[in-house]
């Protein structure tokens, strides 16, 4: 039976190059409950996919983006089946 | 050590070992944004064809916070008959202004630090300056200037770097996932040490940028003064 995973997508202003984005990609990936992190320099977004049954801690995610030197903006959540 | 004899070491320390991280130009390490707790190691090699001399600078940048970064640089110079370490360059950057938007970022940072001698016959120098970055779509401009105040017998010095980087490829990033990119770099640089005229230089090069590492290189040509030509090669790794 398929399980449901939460996905949080967040817009990031000021994220400009692959090498600079690595820091937030790495730190978001180390958060508890995170299964996968994708970063889009084209869309200026990060997509955080949680493990089944886990919920994204948006406050922590925003802090990591700020600590990375960028500006977190609008976010959205949706579910997908694993 | 007489002032003339130590001048190359001082210049190496100032220009190669001090403030200058893509996002950043070739000749300076101080524009690089680093996340809190992040570390970037850079090895920068400069070969002077006219003097048959080589300077290898080991740079380390550490993010104390998103606004505060420490840069360390230690040059090692090799020339006919003498190999030696230059002075340790310690520089702190505080980002005092930053505006991010969908297509880029603008930042201004203040710089301050020390040049710490590695040999007892050289004197400490203080340094202060600023670095500005403007990033828009495929273009990045980094501008930095630094004044180095010599104490006791140490000579004063100054430097500036104006760097334009243009993303040659890809024209558009993939929708998701990391992208490898090639940037072209064109710079105007200036190096001055007390007692000599400012040497203006032009630097042209390429950067091959990956998710965790960068390979970059270029050619530096003096526009006045000694008219030397140098080949520079560098690699950066993000931990």
Task: Tell me the nearest-neighbour CA distance from A41 into chain B, angstroms.
Answer: 6
Q: What is the pLDDT of residue A1?
A: 66
Residues B125-138: tens digit of each pLDDT: 999 999 999 999 89
Identity of the residue in B66, B175, B210 whose CB atom sits nearest the CB atom of A42: B175
Q: What mean pLDDT is predicted for residues B70-97?
A: 94
Q: Chain A: residue nearest B207 by CA? A: A19
pLDDT in tens, chain A (82 residues): 678 999 999 999 999 888 888 889 999 999 999 999 999 999 999 999 999 999 999 999 999 999 999 999 999 999 988 7
B212 contacts on A by Cβ (under 8 Å)? 19, 22
Alpha-carbon distance B113 to B214, whole Å?
26
- Which phi and psi angles does B155 have, rounded to 5°? -75, 150
CA–CA dist B55, B12 (Å, integer): 7
For residue B170, cis peptide bond before it (omega within 30 degrees of 0): yes
Query: Residue B114's pLDDT band (boundaries 50, 70, 90)?
Result: very high
- The DSSP letter of residue B34 is -
> Cβ–Cβ contacts within 10 Å for residue B70, how many?
16
Which of chain A's residues have a Cβ under 8 Å away from the Cβ of B102? 13, 44
pLDDT digits (tens, 9 = 90+) for B48-75: 999 999 999 999 999 999 999 999 999 9
Q: Calculate what percentage of chain B has a pLDDT beyond 70.
A: 90
User: What pLDDT does residue A35 have?
Assistant: 96
pTM for this entry = 0.89
Give the pLDDT of residue B23.
61
Band of residue B31 on the pLDDT scale cut at 50, 70, 90: confident
d(CA B183, CA B214): 11
Return the ∠ at Cα B165 (arms to B54 and B204), rounded to 5°: 40
Residue B122's pLDDT is 85
pLDDT of residue B1 exceeding 70 = no
By Cβ distance, the residue of A23, A41, A68 closest to B173 is A41
What's the Cα-to-Cα distance from A28 to each of A76, B11, B45, B128, rounded to whole Å?
Answer: 16, 40, 34, 35
What confidence tier does B107 reach under pLDDT thresholds 50, 70, 90?
very high
pLDDT for B92: 97
What is the interface pTM, i.e. ipTM, of the complex?
A: 0.89
Q: Which of B78, B69, B19, B21 is nearest to B46 (CA)?
A: B78
Chain A residues within 8 Å of chain B (Cβ atoms): 13-14, 16-25, 27, 38-44, 47, 66-71
Grade residue B179 by pLDDT with cuts at 50, 70 and 90. Answer: confident
């Amino acid at each position: 039976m398929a399980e449901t995973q939460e996905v949080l997508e967040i817009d990031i202003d000021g994220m400009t190059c692959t090498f600079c984005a690595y820091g937030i990609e790495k730190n978001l990936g180390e958060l508890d409950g995170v299964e996968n992190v994708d970063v889009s320099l084209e869309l200026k977004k990060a997509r955080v996919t949680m493990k089944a049954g886990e919920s994204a801690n948006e406050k922590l995610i925003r802090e990591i983006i700020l600590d990375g030197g960028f500006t977190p903006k609008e976010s959205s959540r949706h579910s997908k089946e694993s | 050590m007489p002032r003339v004899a130590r001048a190359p070491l001082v210049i190496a320390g100032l220009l190669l070992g001090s403030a200058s991280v893509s996002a950043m130009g070739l000749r300076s390490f101080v524009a690089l944004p680093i996340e809190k707790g992040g570390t970037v190691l850079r090895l920068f090699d400069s070969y002077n064809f006219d003097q048959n001399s080589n300077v290898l600078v080991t740079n380390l940048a550490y993010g104390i916070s998103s606004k505060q970064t420490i840069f360390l640089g230690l040059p090692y110079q090799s020339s006919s008959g003498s190999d030696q370490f230059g002075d340790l360059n310690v520089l702190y950057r505080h980002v005092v202004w930053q505006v991010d938007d969908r297509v880029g970022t603008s930042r201004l940072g203040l710089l301050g630090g020390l040049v710490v001698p590695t040999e007892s016959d050289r004197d400490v120098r203080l340094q202060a300056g600023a670095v500005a970055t403007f990033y828009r779509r495929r273009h990045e401009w980094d501008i930095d200037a630094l004044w180095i105040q010599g104490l006791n017998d140490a000579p004063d010095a100054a430097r500036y770097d104006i760097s334009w980087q243009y993303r040659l490829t890809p024209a558009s990033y993939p929708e998701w996932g990391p992208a490898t990119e090639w940037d072209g770099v064109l710079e105007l640089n200036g190096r001055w040490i007390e007692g000599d005229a400012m040497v203006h230089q032009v630097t042209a090069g390429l950067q091959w940028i990956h998710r965790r590492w960068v390979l970059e290189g270029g050619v530096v040509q003096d526009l006045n003064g000694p008219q030397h030509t140098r080949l520079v090669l560098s690699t950066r790794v993000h931990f």
